[in-house]
Structure 1
Amino acid sequence: MAVQQVTVGADEADVRLDRWFRRHYPGLSHGALEKLLRTGQVRLDGRRARAAQRLRAGEILRLPPQMAMAVKPRPMRTTPDPARAAYLRELILFEDADVVAINKPAGLAVQGGTGIRESLDDWLPFLAREGGGRPKLVHRLDRETSGVLIIARTALAATKLTEAFRLHTAKKVYWALTLGVPKPLAGEMVHRLMKEGEQMVVRDHADAQRAETAYRVLDHAGRVAALVALAPKTGRTHQLRVQLAAMNCPILGDPVYAEPKAEAAAAFHESGAQKGMHLHALRLTVPHPRKGVIAVEAPVPKAFRQSLSALSLNGDTAARVEDEA
């Protein structure tokens, strides 16, 4: 076995060194990497390096001989299932060499877990460019939430997009159909959320995290239902669902937080409202990993529109919804 010399590509510029190893050698523990760095067996352009050091295009990464024995990532599928590949292509809203944005349907889990046989994560190889690596998720939507989801096709895009979501420079707008009407009709929801069992709850507790969401009621049916535009400023688990429930206006069809208004939901369904959770990620605006801005909007699902019609709610009132919430 011999020493390896790897040139850092442009698509991996600005990636932390430890994350580069995690992508290329997932079998190498963080402790083992730290030892290699501490003893100078891994070097950048001939110099010692740190785990948190960010790579630059063109740098030469020296890898010791034993890296040849490290566990490599799982290979990508080379023959995608034609039906899955065609279905994913239909969902694409925007794509280029670095990113792809899709209109995730309600019911499709983003990642695997208990009771989930297939997820979007399993399908990511179908979205890869020829000769490119496995695309990477950079944010999430709940299984029953529909709408815009952006995926990184390159290491550079993964780093830049992850940072955009972390720093909240990615701007999101959702539509929700609620059981009840938020009061006042516009404002900001501010709560502290924490997990209890399998649910998120509002608690004044040291472990609870601050959640902020701007909202505006776009239309309402008396006091019983509303179409609400939501612009989250933080990204807590189930944030929009918990905050609306805390205002006594849970989302229609929410399988976890709308139980107290089950009777009202049943009456809506008898009036023609559709089943399923009515939360849609309508628009996402995020800095492009290289230059400019990506602004993507996902059409409102047919079932959601049918429910709006059944409740005589106007779904055309927010053509510029980012200015409404």
Structure 2
Amino acid sequence: MTMDLPDLDPITDDQVIVVHLDAGMVGDRLDKALARALPTLSRGRLQALLAQGAVSHDGAVVTDGSSRAIPGDYDITVPPVMAAEPRAQAIPLTVLYEDADLIVIDKPAGMAAHPAPGTPDGTLVNALLHHCGATLSGIGGVARPGIVHRLDKDTSGVMVAAKSDRAHAGLSALFATHDIERTYIALTRGAPSPTLGRIETLIGRSSSDRKKMAVLKSGGRNAITDYVVQARYAVPAKPGAAPLAARVACTLQTGRTHQIRVHMASKGSPILGDATYGSGSPALSVRAAIEQSGLTRQALHAAVLGFVHPVTDEALRFETSLPADMARLEGLLAAL
């Protein structure tokens, strides 16, 4: 085996490492073979790069590290090393509430909660570091100070962050025991049936795609979502016909990764615009409404967040309206 290594010190841009695996490596797991060929990168790092689509074999992207190695050239794109500590950035925030211990914001869609591979900056943490300065709680670690819960990057809505360590510990305890009110508004393909109900399943990593979550028959963690269909759109004239789309309020009783997105999909009513869990295609008129609205993400908004202040014991509750893209889509759906 041979490898072509670029100058990696310092890394300022993506670097491409070319590794040649010869016939003697055939049959080994790919991640293991690459780790042996390239000791400067750990097997775990290589697995992450594979999952991110940063490894290609003879020009074809390879993502499954458990697949068997075959001879040939592997191009491995290594992104720049992230700074150990995120930097403050002057990113505007919509602040709903703030005191010495915590801050509540209305997060826009497209903003990640904290830095991660592929999203080194432009996150809520970067904005909070600029807004709050040295007062931001450090319990969450250098990569995510103040963060006690997350919204998906493309989910908008209410989030709370801790400014003091005492508030961080108290908020973390509230989320751990689910003593917090969290209601989301989703615009869905079709409508879940019945119109009012509880979804209780096990949720864990999908066996077919480790980047996705799935409802499992065994393993995983218990996940509970209460929902109510608030409006039905484009209902065909025939009796008992299902609507083409709906507005659904989902209240979390647990907080699993992608819980609402997975649960709505499991009911046959995935969230509109959800490229990960939105299997199947909406009706032509709904697709046209999505395009006209400008929605480019899942139509999911964290509308309500309520909790008891962990320091003052004051009952706090925040509710926000749908952001512009979802509001436009809902108006178009209502007109169908």
| TM-score, shorter chain, exceeding 0.5 | yes
Paired residue for 1:98, among 98, 101, 119?
101
Instruction: Specify the alignment match of 1:219 in structure 2.
Output: 231
**How far apart are residue 92 of structure 1 and its match?**
0.5
Using the alignment, how far apart are the partners of 1:187 and 1:273 within structure 2? 31
Relative to structure 2, which stretch is displaced further, 100-109 or 191-200? 191-200
Contact persistence 2:201–2:222 (CA under 8 A): yes
Instruction: Specify the alignment match of 2:304 in structure 1.
Output: 283
**How far apart are residue 111 of structure 1 and its match?**
1.8
Instruction: Specify the alignment match of 2:328 in structure 1.
Output: 306
SS at 2:296 equivalent? coil
Contact persistence 1:181–1:224 (CA under 8 A): yes
Flag the 1:270–1:235 CA change in 2: closer, same or farther, 3 A. closer
Structure having the larger proportion of residues in helix = 1
Flag the 1:199–1:95 CA change in 2: closer, same or farther, 3 A. same
**How far apart are residue 262 of structure 1 and its match?**
5.4
Using the alignment, how far apart are the partners of 1:230 and 1:131 within structure 2? 33
Paired residue for 2:178, among 164, 168, 178?
168
Flag the 1:131–1:242 CA change in 2: closer, same or farther, 3 A. closer
AA in 2 matched with 1:105: P
Contact persistence 2:179–2:307 (CA under 8 A): yes
2:126 corresponds to 1:122? yes
Flag the 1:303–1:185 CA change in 2: closer, same or farther, 3 A. same
Using the alignment, how far apart are the partners of 1:133 and 1:103 within structure 2? 19
Instruction: Specify the alignment match of 2:274 in structure 1.
Output: 254
Gaps (5+ residues) in structure 2? 1-83, 139-144, 236-242
AA in 1 matched with 2:170: K
Using the alignment, how far apart are the partners of 1:153 and 1:275 within structure 2? 32
SS at 2:125 equivalent? helix
**How far apart are residue 76 of structure 1 and its match?**
8.7
AA in 1 matched with 2:277: Y
Deviation string, structure 1 residues 163-212 (Cα, Å, up to 9, x no partner) = 0000111110110000111110001111111102111111101x221111
Flag the 1:263–1:293 CA change in 2: closer, same or farther, 3 A. same
Deviation string, structure 1 residues 45-97 (Cα, Å, up to 9, x no partner) = xxxxxxxxxxxxxxxxxxxxxxxxxxxxx7896xx55x42xx12xx1011111
Using the alignment, how far apart are the partners of 1:133 and 1:165 within structure 2? 17
Q: Which has the higher contact order (CA 8 A, sep 6+)?
A: 1
2:295 corresponds to 1:269? no
Flag the 1:238–1:133 CA change in 2: closer, same or farther, 3 A. closer
Relative to structure 2, which stretch is displaced further, 253-262 or 91-100? 253-262
Instruction: Specify the alignment match of 1:232 in structure 2.
Output: 252
AA in 2 matched with 1:255: A
Instruction: Specify the alignment match of 1:202 in structure 2.
Output: 215
**How far apart are residue 266 of structure 1 and its match?**
2.6
Q: How does 1:1-325 map to 2 (within 5 A)?
A: 81=89, 83-84=90-91, 87-88=92-93, 91-118=94-121, 119-128=123-132, 136-196=146-206, 197-205=210-218, 207-221=219-233, 222=235, 223-261=243-281, 266-269=287-290, 272=293, 274-290=295-311, 291-312=313-334
**How far apart are residue 133 of structure 1 and its match?**
5.5
Contact persistence 1:104–1:148 (CA under 8 A): yes
Flag the 1:263–1:125 CA change in 2: closer, same or farther, 3 A. same
Contact persistence 1:188–1:212 (CA under 8 A): yes
**How far apart are residue 271 of structure 1 and its match?**
6.0
**How far apart are residue 294 of structure 1 and its match?**
1.5
Using the alignment, how far apart are the partners of 1:210 and 1:150 within structure 2? 24
Contact persistence 1:244–1:250 (CA under 8 A): yes
Give the aligned CA root-mean-square deviation in angstroms: 2.3
TM-score for both structures, normalised by structure 2: 0.64
Flag the 1:164–1:270 CA change in 2: closer, same or farther, 3 A. closer
Using the alignment, how far apart are the partners of 1:153 and 1:171 within structure 2? 21
Flag the 1:307–1:273 CA change in 2: closer, same or farther, 3 A. farther
Gaps (5+ residues) in structure 1? 1-73, 314-325
Using the alignment, how far apart are the partners of 1:130 and 1:193 within structure 2? 37
Relative to structure 2, which stretch is displaced further, 255-264 or 180-189? 255-264
SS at 2:232 equivalent? strand
Instruction: Specify the alignment match of 1:5 in structure 2.
Output: none
TM-score for both structures, normalised by structure 1: 0.67
